[in-house]
Amino acid sequence: MTLLAEAPPVNKRLTHPAAFAAVAAILLTFAAAAAVPSPLYVVYQQLWGFSAATLTVIFAVYVAALIGALLVLGALSDHIGRRPVLAGAVALEAAALILFVVAGDVATLIVARIVQGVATGVALSTLGATLIDLNPRHAPGRAGLVSGIAPVAGLAVGALGAGVLVEYAPFPTHLVYALLLGGMVLAAVVVALLPETAARRPGGAASLVPKLGVPARLRADLLALVPIIVASWALGGLYMSLGPSVAADSFGLHDHLVGGLVVTLVCGAGAVASFLLRRVPTARVLAVAGAGLASGGLIGVGGLLTESLLLAGLGSVISGIGFGAASLASFSTLARIAAPHERGELMAVALVVSYVAFSLPAVVAGVVAGRIGLHDTALAYGGVVAALGALALLIQAGLNRAKA
């Protein structure tokens, strides 16, 4: 299945600078589409009457599908080229959006999220590798910067845009998906115009066998990033799955725009932090990430304990700074260390780690919330994220001392 017409002649393809900007825009669109269901979960709960545990299942099947796609298809573009894989990802995302539009029950919603998860998993690893391929020589860190900022910014834009449309526009469970479907049509046109940046090489069929492989020379660099990746994406999982529900349960905030703002506070702060820290050495960015996640988590817990919306919001913003700094440092490091033939697979491995941390704790939280309530679950979760952030900060400090 493809949305692409016959590829245009090579001389009509986009220039590398234009292609780089276009790929960044597609990455932003995929991330925005992934965030859109979060403010709508409360609406679906009201319409269909399902529990917090069911909500996190809907969230988890998306991540499980995404991880499965990364494991099976994450390295495929290293063998058959970036454009064919991106074309398939765009087509699958369009199919998922159509399913969202017609969804009338939990079962269809779950199927839509599974299809979207596969599309997003394929897209994220391939788009990240394509950005590195197209990275301008005069700005060697640009691909890592964009790979770090665009997904976080896209989550913020998607959540806020969905919240606005759900609260103020007609057809709250349909319009936002229709708009995104239009965005996917544009993405299909862009993919048709992209230059191919990865030479075909043997092993495409073998690459479909699920595996997580990292070249020996890169393992130490990747392992050093794991603690901060886990801490930051565990935080993201809490806000993306249960954030709007916690706001309604703990603070009585049932406005759908507020539900979107809950996610936007974290992701928006993360995107701004990533941009502001773009020229700061990676070691310092990682320190900011650990400190932001630890202190933001504690402040957020304090806001929940004292029922202070201001304190909870401040904790979300500070946590978001840590989230954005972690994303920037991680993707910048990966962009720097990977050789061209390793990019798709390395990005896939890092994203698998990210999304396991993103989903598993959130699913556990959804189950626990059914027993002890959302408020107490959010308190415990925030404390765990703060502890993980502090642990990541200590590990990075130890690594820096070892290198000194």
Closest CA to 174 of 40, 9, 5: 40
**Distance between CA atoms of residues 183 and 402, nearest Å:** 48
Structure confidence at residue 1 (pLDDT): 42
Structure confidence at residue 381 (pLDDT): 84
Structure confidence at residue 350 (pLDDT): 81
Architecture of domain 13-199+216-403: Up-down Bundle (1.20)
Structure confidence at residue 390 (pLDDT): 87
Please say whether the beta carbons of 71 and 352 come within 8 A.
Answer: yes
Residue 270, CA distances (Å) to 202, 264, 399 in order: 39, 9, 24
Instruction: Indicate the pTM of the whole model.
Output: 0.74
Structure confidence at residue 232 (pLDDT): 87
**Distance between CA atoms of residues 125 and 348, nearest Å:** 5
Angle at 272 between CA 269 and CA 278, to 5 degrees: 135
Q: Token pair of 137, please?
A: 């020589």
- Kindly list the domain boundaries of the chain, sorted by start residue: 13-199+216-403
Q: Which residues of the chain have pLDDT under 50?
A: 1-5
Structure confidence at residue 255 (pLDDT): 67
Structure confidence at residue 8 (pLDDT): 54
Structure confidence at residue 5 (pLDDT): 44
Structure confidence at residue 118 (pLDDT): 94
